Every structure is written in structure tokens, then in C-alpha cells.
Amino acid sequence: MSQLLADLLFPNVTETRDDLLKKYPVRGKNVVCTRLAPSPTGFLHIGGVYTALINRKIATQNNGVFMLRIEDTDKKREVPGSRKIITNVFNELGIKIDEGVTSETEEIGAYGPYVQSNRVEIYHILAKYLVEKGLAYPCFATEEELNEIRKNQESNHITPGYYKEYAKYRNTSIDEVKSFLALGKPYVLRFRVSDSAPERIKINDLIKGELEMDNNQNDFVLLKTDGIPTYHFAHACDDYLMHTSHVIRGDEWVSSLPIHIQLFEALDFSLPTYAHVAPVMKQEGESRRKLSKRKDPESNAEFYLEKGYPTKALYVYLYTLINSNFEEWYLANKDKDIEEFEVKFENMGLSGPLYDLDKLNNISSEIIYETSLEDNVNNLLKWANSYNVSDYNRFQNDLDFVKKIFMTQGPNSRERRKDLRNYSSFMETFGFLYDDYFNQSDVSEAQNFIDSVGKDRVSLVVNAYINYFNELKIENTAKTLKDLAKELGYTDKKKFQKNPEAYIGIFTEFYQILNLALSHKLNCISVDDVIAVLGFDEVINRLKKVLEWI
Ligand code: GLU
């Protein structure tokens, strides 16, 4: 009966499970093989990158293989162009793909195809095998029939589902199946859960430890009406035939483990080792929630490319989230390649780590600070070339100017500044040094400040600055800006508060007036740095412009 049914349902399938095992031989003893298996939804979540890095590291640390597989069995959720987006993120971030999909059109490796929609024949061979063994059957239940079954169960206080005696098409005769097929009735292929399936099961998870849970009792779907597999069936087929040793995936799949274990057993496949990763979380008020595609732009992996974060910053930050001991290791081993750090499952948290963009920004500023001038210029150009062509042309027009700006930054600079958090904020941070950008910049911050300080005082200070820089330009005076501030009657906060009548104001105001003249902002790089980039004449010119303006 089973063989007849199998031939009836899959008349064109001639290959067998054994043929597949020959085609996809075991990789060798104890070869570690991991994978990321994103769905092509038009978006790669930063949690996907996080999980990819764990998979990549575990493979590398064991001289193993890391694969990228595209899981496109849910056609409703598929967004065209996703494969390009996903592989582009991998390539840009330098996450090496040993096997699988490597670009929009290419894939590498002997265990492919690596896109599930190209593996339908494989799923059908294994589906036929399950039918032959009496472990799968066609179910012709309509939506109405399924609803009716559920309603009956609910009114009799019975656990709802499609199982045992409630599985209406479990024991359909071969003649009936034939007549349904002749009528063209749509059907799904369901798994037949064994009547002797235990109530509870235990499984070991490398992150979560031993898990005990209710077993699955439902005759779940293997192939949908269009013959496309469900995620569960494809997972068992692919991860066995590709010989994935460690399935490291999001912990939303923990609850599906009973189904997966039943499938591996039924297919007579050895079970991979599982490690379920908790999702990255975001603090919102008092509570925590998953980083959301809809609400949080930073949930999108492409965000980091568009913003121009150095790849290393993202790695350092994500490793910090992956392993609790990474940060300490990193600070103690600044001279080492971060890839020397060993990622361990036992150092992964059970609850999802908190995602904090400010922390990434700090790490990133630190890394840009430590990056050589040449590399910073190249990184900036590379970013601009991909994401902002007009900035790219501006930089290319005068590379020396870009270099001069970077000379104000880093450990060899006068003030050891670290103003840049990512390459896309270059113009926001240093744009004022470009005349056209400066002339068009928003002056409301400056205007409000002048209004609050008072025009007379601003003009007094600006005139003093003009004289000072004129003098400084011709003779190297020993007088500092602080001396000038004191001459004008500025002092520190403490002294001012004690005796406000004796002074004109506090030092901060004095420096802010200069910053506003130079950049239209209250804070900017030091005047010495501005002089180094623009020269005395332009500094004096910008100060004079303030006098015209007030
Ligand atoms: N396609 C699944 C997802 O995007 C992957 C789950 C897995 O890694 O097995 O969530």
C-alpha cells in the first residue's frame, strides 16, 4: 500500500534517498559545518548578522565550513532583490562564505543548490521515501473541514489539532486517494506522528542547556498544496544533506524542536547539534523588546553600510554582545586581531543582549581614531563612492584638504581628537571647513546665542579675536587665548559665581563665540586645527563676517 501510494503521488520521482546520500557524502569525521539560512524578505536584520558572525566564528575556530543558504519557501513573504541585499551585506562586512550563495546569481560548493526553491526535486525524493515508509500521507482536508474539526475539539474540551483519530485523511484508502487525485482535489502531504510518540522529550542545546518539552502530536505539513516544502521539512532535508553539524539559529525555533527531531528520526538522519541564540533587544522605557524592522532603522544591516561604520567597529560591538567576556579581552589585547578571540557558547547569555547604538558609536569613534590617516581617507572615499556621489566628487576634487582635516584627528593630532563616529558624518562634523557648505549652513543656533549674549559683548569679543589673530599671524606671540579671555574679563565658573560683578562672563562663552564664528555651531574642533586647515586669513575673514551680521 505505501509503495503504491508513493508511486501514485510521485510518479516522476525515480531517485531514492540512497542516491541522495551518495550525491551528498558525509564531509569527513567531525567536520564542523554551520550556516545562516535567511529568508529573502528584502531586508537582513542585524540579528541575522549577529547570528552569522557566531556561525562564521564557530566554523573558523574548528577549521570548518560556513554556508549561506537562502530559504525561499514562503513565496508570500519573498521580496525580489533580497539575495543581492543579503550577499552584498556579507561581502561588504567581509563575512566569508565558504559555500552557498555568494552573489545575486552565483553560488559555490558541492552540496548545493543553496537556494531552497532549486531543491524541490530533493524534497520530493525524501517526501516519497517517507510515504513509502508509511510516515507521510496526503491530506485533502479543506479549510472548512479543518475548521469543523477544530470546533468539535473545542466544544468537547479536547486539545485542538490534526492528530490521531482527528486526522481525517490519515487512513484514506488508495482507491479514494486515486479518485480525489482524478478530481484534481488539492492536497498537502502530512507527517504521520507515531502512535507511540512519547509525551515529553529532552534535548540538549549548546546555549540553553538541557531542554525538556511537550512532544509534538500533530500531523504537521511537509509539502504544501503547490508541492513546496514547509520550513520544517526543508530544514531537516537540507541540514542533513549539507551535513550541517551545528544548527545555530534564532531561539524562536526552540518550540519547533519536537517536530524537527521527529523528522530527522523518520528520515533516518542523525540529528545536528543545536544552539539557539537569544534575540538582540532594545530598551524602551521600562521594558525590553526585540529590535523591530518597522520601528528601528538600526535593525537593518544595510543601515551600517549606509552610515559608513568601519567594519571592525561593528564586529567589535557585535562580539561584545555575543560573548560577555569579549570586551575585557579586547581592551587587554588591543594589539591583536579581534579574530584571535575565541567565541564560546557557554559565554552567550540566555536572555537577549541589549542593543545600544550609543555604545557602537563610542566604539566606532575609537576605531576611527586609531585608524591611520591613509586608511581613513580610503574608507571615507569608499563609503562616499557607494552612498554619496556628490560628497565623493567633493573629496576627490581636493584630497589634500581631506587629509588636512584628518590630521586634526587621531593619536598624532594636536588635541588627540576623535570627532568622527562614522564616515557618513564627515560632512556634518567637518563640512563647515568647506566654504560653500559653511555659507549655506543653518545659523539659527548662532543667532540664538548672539541674541542671548547681546550684540555688544559679541562684537567686543570678535574684535579682540580679530586683532589677536592678526598679531599671531605676523609674530609668534606667547599670549594665549586664555590670556586674551582674561584681559576681556572672562573667568572660570567658580570665580564668576562667587563674584559676578567683577567679571564679564565665563570662559565657555568666550570660546563659544569663536566656535560660532568659525562653524556656526557652539562646538567644533579647536581654532588651532581650523587655522591648520583653513589658514589665518580665512579665520579672520569668518570673524569679520560676524561683525557684518550682528
Ligand atoms: N529561514 C529561517 C529564518 O529566516 C532560518 C531558520 C534557521 O536558521 O533554521 O528565520
Task: Indicate which CATH number applies to the domain containing 238.
Answer: 3.90.800.10
What's the confidence (pLDDT) of residue 398? 96
For range 269-289, the mean pLDDT: 96
Per-residue pLDDT for 449 more than 90? yes
Q: Is 71 in the pocket of ligand 1 (CB under 6 A)?
A: yes
Assess whether 140 and 265 both reside in one domain: yes
Q: What angle do helix axes 389-397 and 373-387 make, rounded to 10 degrees?
A: 140
In-domain check, residue 90: no
In-domain check, residue 504: yes
Task: Indicate which CATH number applies to the domain containing 316.
Answer: 1.10.1160.10
Per-residue pLDDT for 247 more than 80? yes
Q: Which domain holds residue 498?
A: 442-549
Q: Is 251 in the pocket of ligand 1 (CB under 6 A)?
A: no
pLDDT in tens, 159-176: 999 999 999 999 999 999
Q: What's the CA-to-centroid distance between 39 and ligand 1, angstroms? A: 7
Question: Looking at 228, 250, 277, which one is the last position of a domain?
Answer: 277
Whole-structure pTM value: 0.93
What's the confidence (pLDDT) of residue 28? 86
What single-letter amino acid sits at 184?
Answer: G
Own/partner long-range contacts of 184-187 (Cβ < 8 Å, ≥24 apart): 185/140, 186/140, 186/225, 187/138, 187/139, 187/140, 187/225
Assess whether 262 and 337 both reside in one domain: no
Assess whether 458 and 505 both reside in one domain: yes
Q: Is 249 in the pocket of ligand 1 (CB under 6 A)?
A: yes
What's the confidence (pLDDT) of residue 29? 85
pLDDT in tens, 129-149: 999 999 999 999 999 999 999
Assess whether 528 and 446 both reside in one domain: yes
Please state, in angstroms and rounded to a whole number, the distance separating the CA atoms of residues 446 and 479: 27
**Where do runs of H (alpha helix) occur along 352-443?**
357-370, 373-387, 389-397, 399-406, 426-430, 435-439
Name the residue among 133, 118, 100 with its Cα closest to residue 17.
133
Residue whose CB lies within 8 A of the most ligand 1 atoms, among 34, 36, 39, for a mutation test: 39
pLDDT in tens, 85-127: 999 999 999 999 999 999 999 999 999 999 999 999 999 999 9
In-domain check, residue 9: yes
Assess whether 146 and 223 both reside in one domain: yes
Assess whether 189 and 161 both reside in one domain: yes
Assess whether 127 and 271 both reside in one domain: yes
Please state, in angstroms and rounded to a whole number, the distance separating the CA atoms of residues 68 and 62: 18
Residues in the chain: 550
DSSP per residue, 385-398: HHH-HHHHHHHHHT
Handedness of CA 337, 342, 345, 346 (dihedral sign): negative
Per-residue pLDDT for 385 more than 90? yes
Per-residue pLDDT for 475 more than 90? no
Quick count: other Cβ atoms within 10 Å of Cβ 253?
A: 17
Please state, in angstroms and rounded to a whole number, the distance separating the CA atoms of residues 473 and 527: 13
Assess whether 414 and 447 both reside in one domain: no
Assess whether 273 and 162 both reside in one domain: yes
Per-residue pLDDT for 1 more than 80? no
pLDDT in tens, 282-296: 999 999 999 999 999
In-domain check, residue 61: no
What's the confidence (pLDDT) of residue 287? 93
Assess whether 272 and 289 both reside in one domain: no
The phi, psi pair for 255, rounded to 5°, reads -65, -15
Number of domains in the chain: 4
Q: What's the CA-to-centroid distance between 134 and ligand 1, angstroms? A: 28
What's the confidence (pLDDT) of residue 550? 81
Per-residue pLDDT for 477 more than 90? no
Over the chain, what is the mean pLDDT?
96
Assess whether 269 and 198 both reside in one domain: yes
What's the confidence (pLDDT) of residue 395? 98
pLDDT in tens, 22-55: 999 999 889 999 999 999 999 999 999 999 999 9
pLDDT in tens, 185-200: 999 999 999 999 999 9
pLDDT in tens, 214-234: 999 999 999 999 999 999 999
Residue whose CB lies within 8 A of the most ligand 1 atoms, among 230, 244, 247, 249, for a mutation test: 249
Assess whether 451 and 403 both reside in one domain: no
Question: Looking at 277, 300, 334, which one is the last position of a domain?
Answer: 277
What's the confidence (pLDDT) of residue 241? 98
For range 516-520, the mean pLDDT: 96
Q: Is 485 in the pocket of ligand 1 (CB under 6 A)?
A: no
